[in-house]
Structure 1
């Protein structure tokens, strides 16, 4: 591996830039709120792109294009489901969660919010939800470290054991140093790099194939069924792919971005920016795989690596179609996708350990400086455990990652959503929803299946459990109801102001 390799140089420059951002964020981190939520100071642009980048891992640039390259447009249903789910999450959860967490003890984490929202003196909700976050996200972190190691291994030809540390070190470094602000600022850079790569690559691939019509003709000649959205799909299969969108309501690393916004008034603009970014990125990822079919049909001698592993379609197109320096920048987008998700997961695990275990049970009167350093220590601890798991990339525990999205979506999604919309919801209702959602996902996956993604029964049954148990339970206390009403009133006033402002802007425009 030569140090004059353009791809290596661009990777090194990119990683150095991320670490420098971490150092800059270090200067703005004074207390635990800064380290965990950036002091609730994120503007619309950073909130939007950070939420998007933390959501989309290496799957966006490798998994989705590879699936489309292999099977055609029938694989794009999952992208449609994600876009719908993300939009509904921005619409119904983002603004409300920003307000309700502030009114409920200025909660910094989801377990903290649940505890204060339901006045849970037993703290069982805090322990259960923090434990779920810790277990699932540690495994999630391991999968991210494996993805980064595989990228370094395949790109630079270095041994997996070395690539493991090379891929993880930079992410651990800037997360450790700068906390939430570093993660959010780097996410913004990473999101920009990802959208650049996913717009440029399919356009150049289409041009290299002769233009849009020749590209479509080549794909049709290869296999006309690639255009069929329902190719090999059943009703249950399509529902399962669309249902991925349900998971958004319960993903702690995405919800943390809503909680960190500087104001609920920033949410509508963030929603527009975030959804535009997400739609363009997913469309670009589908286009990479789809146009890759035409390019490698015309150049079969160049497609050996892609035929062996379709997930390499973006990597090979970048390598073959661009100057090595530009290719290095484009391949850095894969690293950006991996690092942005991994850093968020590390920080959420650190938050759960620091705020929901250390401060809540061990050191209630710990100073802010102590808590920040404990948070940094927890980042290292979780990272080392995840690296230990990732040391064996074939480990069966990594298979549990398939549960994580559904597990979070079913365990937390209905609890978060209903707690923001219904003041009659009780602590026991939340507990029932969390347990039923988690157990349904695991049991359905292991024993039922039927081709239906486990998040569907998990989400439905958890919602029913919340409503049923809450109605059978004693009504929440007057203080809980009043706090809900105050938060809801603040949210609605902000929405009204946003609507009036939009109306004024429209009226003052030339078209108005």
Structure 2
């Protein structure tokens, strides 16, 4: 397929706008704190939409609708699990993490926070957490690049190899230039575009099929199992899908948004905005895949694109049902989802390499200007590695995301939660939790025991390791416990 001129113009205007925001953010980036966390200046609206957009990658408009289209409504258990997990993350983690990181040497990154919170003079926590971030985020970045490549391949008729570079170029540019502020400001625009696309598209699809009743009748006639929430699912499968929600507690790119809020008091209103946005987007994504079943059942002659790859369902519906100008805006929403997540993942990788490895071990006396430029160089380095990983045309977005999501959820999730609610937790517990969680995911993924999603045993074994090794080891110092209590008192006061 070749893109029409209106679609081409819309894409170019959108990409130009994002890059322009990057250059505006450049002027506000004065030191490394600004580059990595925006000087902790995000208000509740930007915090909420930036957290949502950085969370919902190309998976939201490609992976999830594609899974629903191929398997029916039963795949929506993932959306239910994610909604529950996100709400608990906002409720339990967000405000506490904002306060605790400030009380612990104004930590800019998760490895920074772990090192200070557990007084780790050996720096083992810093190194291991930075390595975990680099391993799993490089896989996660690859998933975003695959989604972008699929979009450019379908929209502009490019080869997959050319689409890889075209899809990643704009994101790399504005992240390189503007850092955290560029990423957060563009996330806000991108989140708005995503919710517009996911509300409008299912409404038009339902209308094209003849209305809600007709759409449901067609879907039921095509296969009654499409309406069954338990289609081909046993108890383990349902638990595995719900288990996606556990991943929220350990995602560094989402947690960074909480750390960057202007105050923990902003978190409450940010939670309401963020959860409303998320529920509407997930419902829209499920509806696109579900009602897409009815549309392509009625129009099999137009189904070639989705027959080859179900993850193209949103792309194909936008292209077929909308005026080219509107289609260009809707397809830009996929690019928005990809760019918003990929940009903050690149930034977190950059911060791990710069703050936690380069500054800590190679150049302790590095100037702020030097750190900003090293951070930018690291963005390019991680992007090139991710593009190399994404070079296989057989890659599927959902498969890559599920692996990285589980890795972070199990390695960091229990460590983050326990560090915020249990002052008795010590450095040995944190170290054991990280290693056991990451190792469980890597091993369980290879053997797929019980058919259970690897995040669930990873999270469970990590939590057990944290409690066991913390109780067997020494109590944290009086100073460490005092810092914890002061931060908790500040959080509870409001």
Give the TM bin, normalised by the shorter chain: over 0.9
2:21 corresponds in structure 1 to 21
* Cα distance, 1:93 vs structure 2: 0.3
2:116 corresponds in structure 1 to 116
Q: Does the 8 A contact of 2:3 with 2:155 survive in 1?
A: no
SS of the equivalent of 2:28 reads coil
| Alignment partner of 1:9 is 2:9 | yes
* Cα distance, 1:121 vs structure 2: 0.4
1:179 corresponds in structure 2 to 179
Whole-angstrom CA distance in 2 between matches of 1:263 and 1:107 = 15
1:340 corresponds in structure 2 to 340
* Cα distance, 1:399 vs structure 2: 6.9
Shift of the 241–362 alpha-carbon distance from structure 1 to 2, 3 Å rule, reads same
SS of the equivalent of 2:38 reads helix
1:201 corresponds in structure 2 to 201
Shift of the 24–281 alpha-carbon distance from structure 1 to 2, 3 Å rule, reads same
Query: CA-to-partner distance for each residue in 1:311-365, whole Å, 9 max, x for gaps?
Result: 2221111111111100010011111111111101100000001100111111112
2:42 corresponds in structure 1 to 42
Q: CA RMSD in A?
A: 1.7
2:226 corresponds in structure 1 to 226
Whole-angstrom CA distance in 1 between matches of 2:376 and 2:228 = 49
* Cα distance, 1:300 vs structure 2: 2.1
Unaligned stretches of 5+ residues in structure 1: 495-512
1:443 corresponds in structure 2 to 443
Query: CA-to-partner distance for each residue in 1:389-426, whole Å, 9 max, x for gaps?
Result: 33344589x97654311111111000000000000000
Whole-angstrom CA distance in 2 between matches of 1:149 and 1:369 = 34
* Cα distance, 1:153 vs structure 2: 1.5
Q: Does the 8 A contact of 2:40 with 2:259 survive in 1?
A: yes
SS of the equivalent of 1:450 reads helix
| Segment of structure 1 superposing worse, 129-138 or 420-429 | 129-138
Whole-angstrom CA distance in 2 between matches of 1:263 and 1:113 = 17
SS of the equivalent of 1:61 reads helix
| Alignment partner of 1:146 is 2:138 | no
Q: Does the 8 A contact of 1:40 with 1:259 survive in 2?
A: yes
Count of aligned pairs: 494
| Alignment partner of 1:369 is 2:342 | no
SS of the equivalent of 1:168 reads helix
| Alignment partner of 1:314 is 2:314 | yes
Whole-angstrom CA distance in 2 between matches of 1:399 and 1:321 = 29
Q: Does the 8 A contact of 1:49 with 1:187 survive in 2?
A: yes
1:300 corresponds in structure 2 to 300
1:68-83 alignment, distance < 5 Å: 68-83=68-83
Whole-angstrom CA distance in 2 between matches of 1:115 and 1:129 = 10
Q: Does the 8 A contact of 2:142 with 2:387 survive in 1?
A: yes
| Alignment partner of 1:470 is 2:470 | yes
SS of the equivalent of 1:425 reads coil
1:497 corresponds in structure 2 to none
Whole-angstrom CA distance in 1 between matches of 2:289 and 2:241 = 18
Whole-angstrom CA distance in 2 between matches of 1:416 and 1:436 = 14
SS of the equivalent of 1:378 reads helix
| Segment of structure 1 superposing worse, 315-324 or 113-122 | 315-324
1:238 corresponds in structure 2 to 238
2:387 corresponds in structure 1 to 387
User: TM-score when scaled to structure 2?
Assistant: 0.97
1:418 corresponds in structure 2 to 418
Whole-angstrom CA distance in 1 between matches of 2:381 and 2:344 = 15
1:498 corresponds in structure 2 to none
Whole-angstrom CA distance in 2 between matches of 1:158 and 1:474 = 59
SS of the equivalent of 2:39 reads helix
1:88 corresponds in structure 2 to 88
Shift of the 229–448 alpha-carbon distance from structure 1 to 2, 3 Å rule, reads closer
1:253-332 alignment, distance < 5 Å: 253-332=253-332
Whole-angstrom CA distance in 2 between matches of 1:447 and 1:288 = 33
Unaligned stretches of 5+ residues in structure 2: none
* Cα distance, 1:116 vs structure 2: 0.1
* Cα distance, 1:160 vs structure 2: 2.4
Q: Does the 8 A contact of 2:445 with 2:454 survive in 1?
A: yes
Whole-angstrom CA distance in 1 between matches of 2:371 and 2:153 = 37
* Cα distance, 1:159 vs structure 2: 2.2
SS of the equivalent of 1:106 reads coil
Shift of the 60–4 alpha-carbon distance from structure 1 to 2, 3 Å rule, reads closer
